Amino acid sequence: MVTAYCGQSTVRPCRSGQSAVRCCAMVSDMADASPRTKSRKRAQATPEQTVGERRARELERSARQALRELATWWQTSARDLPWRYGRTTPWGVLVCEVMSQQTQMSRVVPYWEAWMSQWPDAASLAAAEKSEVIRAWGRLGYPRRALRLQECAEVVARDYDDRLPREYDELMALPSVGDYTASAVLSFAYGERVAVIDTNIRRALSRAFLGVESLGGSCTPLERALAWVVLPKAVEQSVLWNQAVMELGALVCTAKAPQCEQCPLQPQCEFVKAGMPGLGEKRTRPRQRFHGTDRQVRGSILQALRALPAGGALTHAQAEGLCADAVQLDRCIASLDDDGLIEILPGHAMRLPA
């Protein structure tokens, strides 16, 4: 399979043998398409067209130089995380990617190790009690992810004979899997050539090659095209590139305080050359607080339930001690029930689902 850039999606299965940076519209599809559809498909810009043909060639040359520096840096500076270097299964890679969404990697490691020890594959997780799954998720945050991951496991065990699929569209159809997770599995677990695009990669690439700050939010067409243009053509090198750039963004090219003196790309970094304009800027949005929010109250309720013996119940009176606002408390209890994270018992007590 040749993975190909195609519009806003990162990859699509492409069996025509075309270049990985061409839109994967097939000739046979074009023959059956209406004139209007044909025109729209022909108009789809390639990554080179998005960044500019001449600029794309310059970026490719810069990327080849950057690859040499990144490869050396990766060998000496990458963290020895338990899911790296072929030490886990594709399912283990997916579990790691779901856990690490909006969660620091240092917090993920002990939870991932305990999780994979208890449920090493999709089938074992699919058969687990929901209460045990929620308990094992602990304080990773956004606990609905735990149940979505179990739903994903049920599909993989039932429909794919307990083997994680390796086609982009099949991965995207799984619960809890989006574009980033599907791309990460294809690259890190299956060794496919695909641009993996997360916040760290976007920031590092935008700074190093465009000389501007990535402002967060949704990935722009330019950022997506850049990721494909600079991605090495050789499959094995593309996997190393994705891992190294992501690690660079996490450890060195950080959002507010980049450690440029430790960066292997500093000599060629366009952001450094430009004087680091707009360092740390983000798209304007209200600052999110945590204390007193529904998210905090929900977390407190779940933590109290996890601390009980298996099957134990939390009375409503006990829950009232976790939140002084009765209206907010009832709203949070109702939302936890709607998400399937708790069961409401007679007398308004609650427990983790069976």
Whether 211 and 274 have beta carbons less than 8 Å apart is answered as: yes
Burial class from Cβ neighbours inside 10 Å (0-12, 13-18, 19+) for residue 346 reads exposed
Helix (H, G, I), strand (E, B) or coil at 351: strand
Compute the distance between CA of residue 98 and CA of residue 349 in angstroms, rounded to an integer.
31
**Angstrom distance (rounded) from CA 241 to CA 207:** 16
Helices (H), the chain: 27-32, 35-42, 47-51, 53-77, 90-99, 105-118, 122-126, 130-137, 144-159, 168-172, 179-184, 199-205, 221-230, 235-251, 270-273, 294-306, 316-320, 326-338
Taking the CB of residue 14, how many other CB atoms lie within 10 A of it? 21
Catalytic residue set: 97
Residue pair 139/109 in contact by the 8 Å Cβ criterion: no
Token reading at 4: 């190909």
CA distance 40 to 335: 43
265's CB contacts (< 8 A; 6+ apart) are 66, 69, 70, 204, 208, 248
Task: Look at residue 112 and give its three-state secondary structure.
Answer: helix
Cα gap 153→91, rounded to integer Å? 9
Task: Give the other-Cβ count within 10 Å of 299's Cβ.
Answer: 18
> What are 331's two structure tokens?
């709203």
